[in-house]
Amino acid sequence: MKALIRLTCLLFATAVPVSAQSVADIGEPHLDIVSRTDVEAARVAAITAPPDSFDAPERFEANQGGAGSVRRRGDAEAFSQPQADLDFAQRGEFALGNGLFERLWVTAPASTLASDGLGPMFNARSCQDCHVKDGRGHAPAGPADDATSLVVRLGVPEVPVDELSRYLGAGPDPVYGHQLSDASIAGVPAEARVAVSWVEAGRVDLPGGETVTLRRPDWHLADLAYGPLDPHTATSPRVAPQMIGLGLAEAIPAADILAHADPDDLDGDGISGRPNVVWSPEYETWMLGRFGVRATTPTLRQQAADAFNADIGIASPLRPDPAGDCTEAQRACRGARQGADPEQGGYEISGDSLDLVTFYTRNLAVPKRARVDDPQVLRGKALFHEAGCPSCHVPKYVTHRLADRAEQSFQLIWPYSDFLLHDMGPGLADGLPAGQASGAEWRTPPLWGIGLTEQVSGHRQYLHDGRARSLSEAILWHDGEGRAARDRYATFTEADRAALEAFLESL
């Protein structure tokens, strides 16, 4: 009830119009939920409570993805495995979804009717182009580097003007839309080229003689094909996130996420996490946002449809415009050939194929923990708690009991996220609101798999835009609600910092 009262106050305070009736209607229509019994609720409360000590691992802690956790591999395929609890038929469905995830789309018309419809403007030709090996994308190394897994969201920070803007939380740039496209089909000018210069943002001296140099990006939009952006348009560059554990995150009870919300900081701990309650075009209701750097997307199916449409220019039942993000001001784009056909249900990707991609992304397995009983890792875990990191990076949940998804049903999982919004200070702010998130608020990213970033993605870049080149840099960028934890970390001895990082690397 406390969380519902806070949520009601939050919704009435936002610029996005939300009625009292819609607050009462917030639910989880995408899940076939079997209610927990009182006995089960008591078991969940007991097993998700903080540990009494850090002398040994907690029960089941090594299986951070629940029963679907897979062996921790030593190669780049570590994030590309199906959950261990899929049956034979589901593994076949997973393979089909993987094929669609890797499919290279081509310009329409083409002889391959199931693969045409690319663009007219786009950022990538396949999902895998950005989510290479299902891992994190990377930011450009400098102004001349076009090899990237980065998109630039656009928006005018005002009351949304249409249904899509209501869903995204900001009005589009009147010419360039909601997302900048740096590639296009023949005959249609691409919108711009994205480049970056890295600028030193300060140095932090740590105990033991270590100095950490922070960098920040100075983004440039070059070769704007349709004139300058609207002067009120904000830009938000972000790299593609890793893909593991998404179905488990989708299955966490909304009530358990809301239980961590404290938008008015009533407990006085300086942490004001709040939910992003967003409009679902799929269900035509308000739902809890769980996915995206600002928690703007409530379901994985919607996330897949949004990515197909905005990133690749592919129309689906949820995002049916074959011109993708092209605006009316871009006449060549709006008039280009599109790939919708009856074999795809009148779209460029059918509902069945969208479901296969959703199944694939829902069932990418979380690797098991490493060195879970190592004394240094256990010491790092204790320091993680001592610094207050679990106030946002909530370690564990038990998922809903689900009637139709045994692979995600009633699983103890360890994502290390509260899936809420937090103000991270002016250094990370980009000024682009999203849903009910301000331009300084970000969803707490899950930490599971963070220790495998370099192995899978070939780099050590962290945070939403890849500015942090080490875990230490990522921690030291924390400000706003993360400032207290950051300051505590900055007092750790060299040995304690190494222990904390060993814990994070074990995830």
Average pLDDT over residues 422-433: 96
Amino acid present at 287? M
Supply the pLDDT for residue 110.
Answer: 87
Cα–Cα separations (whole angstroms), residue 67 to 93, 335, 362, 366, 407? 19, 50, 15, 10, 8
Supply the pLDDT for residue 191.
Answer: 97
Average pLDDT over residues 302-330: 96
Residue that is written with structure tokens 């009148």 in the block: 346
pLDDT-based confidence at 142, cuts 50/70/90? confident
Supply the pLDDT for residue 163.
Answer: 63
Task: Give long-range contacts, CB 8 A cutoff, 24+ apart: 297-300.
Answer: 298/30, 299/30, 299/250, 300/246, 300/247, 300/250, 300/358, 300/361, 300/362
Q: What is the mean pLDDT of the chain?
A: 92
Supply the pLDDT for residue 166.
Answer: 61
Percent of the chain with pLDDT over 90: 86
The SS3 assignment for 481 reads helix
C-beta of residue 401 within 8 angstroms of C-beta of residue 33: yes
Average pLDDT over residues 100-122: 92
Per the DSSP assignment, residues forming a β-bridge with 156 are 171
pLDDT digits (tens, 9 = 90+) for 254-277: 999 999 999 999 999 999 999 999
pLDDT digits (tens, 9 = 90+) for 323-348: 999 999 999 999 999 999 898 999 99
Percent of the chain with pLDDT over 70: 93
Average pLDDT over residues 240-263: 96
d(CA 481, CA 109): 51
Among 342-346, 422-426, 450-454, the minimum mean pLDDT is found in: 342-346
pLDDT digits (tens, 9 = 90+) for 24-83: 457 899 999 999 999 999 999 999 999 999 999 999 999 999 999 999 999 999 999 999
pLDDT digits (tens, 9 = 90+) for 81-99: 999 999 999 999 999 999 9
pLDDT digits (tens, 9 = 90+) for 375-411: 999 999 999 999 999 999 999 999 999 999 999 999 9
pLDDT-based confidence at 178, cuts 50/70/90? very high
Element (H, E) at 151: strand 150-155
pLDDT digits (tens, 9 = 90+) for 145-163: 876 789 999 999 875 556 6
Supply the pLDDT for residue 116.
Answer: 92
- Angle (CA) 199 201 231, round 5°: 65
Residue 335: both structure tokens together:
């008039």
Supply the pLDDT for residue 111.
Answer: 81
Average pLDDT over residues 421-447: 95
In 10 A of CB 282, how many CB atoms?
17
What burial letters (b/e) apply to 283-299, b meaning 16+ CB within 10 Å? eeebbbbbbbbbbbbbb
Cα–Cα separations (whole angstroms), residue 395 to 79, 156, 190, 382? 20, 35, 43, 12
- Angle (CA) 430 242 476, round 5°: 50
Q: How far is CA 398 from the centre of its chain?
A: 20
C-beta of residue 10 within 8 angstroms of C-beta of residue 263: yes
d(CA 206, CA 214): 13
pLDDT-based confidence at 8, cuts 50/70/90? very low
C-beta of residue 278 within 8 angstroms of C-beta of residue 14: no
d(CA 365, CA 367): 6
Q: How far is CA 293 from the centre of its chain?
A: 5
Supply the pLDDT for residue 372.
Answer: 98
pLDDT at 370 over 70: yes
d(CA 182, CA 93): 33
- Angle (CA) 212 215 217, round 5°: 170
pLDDT digits (tens, 9 = 90+) for 197-238: 999 999 999 999 999 999 999 999 999 999 999 999 999 999
- Angle (CA) 125 130 132, round 5°: 110
Task: Kindly tell me the number of DSSP H helices and DSSP E strands found in the chain.
Answer: 16, 15
Supply the pLDDT for residue 165.
Answer: 62
pLDDT at 13 over 60: no
pLDDT-based confidence at 112, cuts 50/70/90? confident
Among 162-166, 174-178, 319-323, the minimum mean pLDDT is found in: 162-166
CA-based Rg of the chain, rounded to a whole angstrom? 22
State the distance between the two ends of the chain, measured CA to CA, in whole angstroms. 33
pLDDT-based confidence at 169, cuts 50/70/90? low
Supply the pLDDT for residue 276.
Answer: 93
pLDDT at 465 over 70: yes
d(CA 273, CA 275): 7
Nearest to 432 by CA among 64, 171, 129, 79: 171
In 10 A of CB 488, how many CB atoms?
15
- Angle (CA) 422 458 237, round 5°: 40
